Structure 1
């Protein structure tokens, strides 16, 4: 990819490869989900179980049946990956995500140098 870029931009290219799905970052602060879904829509215990299953949100994923997006679809009635993901991430905020997701934080730090 870097070689396909104009040479004058190559030094600005800092790739980031997410360990698992983007939705893993959303587990940085699951309390936000209570503000966005009714108790009828949300099975909060599913989110708590996901958080307990890994050391960091970035590591939540034990296979296709437990991928972050699958866990969210199970926990939230009518979960729409495209619509809700960005909104939840925005409300969670970079500070919370960076504090819980070391790999993501390291990439952001590199980009800010």
Structure 2
């Protein structure tokens, strides 16, 4: 190995070691929330509301159904009971759910709680 190559390799390893120590504490992939998976994609405009007693509701509005997809997330909802309301052009459906949250943690040691629930759209 040439001196140039050895030096370049050492510099590269030092840079990687420096990155590992720089901001070790990350919460990538670790957040509190509730994901709602619809059993089908509603036609046209639709809304999904997440209602928790004693808190303001959160609403997701999809104007074009294709780009919105069937999975929708509500960040920071970790209530033991949540009412999900789906409004479409054919009507509304209400679902009272009791999510089973799974705990995970980021490299910071903090705990995050996340659940996924499947619900039916109005038909």
TM-score normalised according to structure 1 size = 0.26
Larger radius of gyration: 2
TM-score normalised according to structure 2 size = 0.25
Higher helix share: 1
Higher strand share: 2
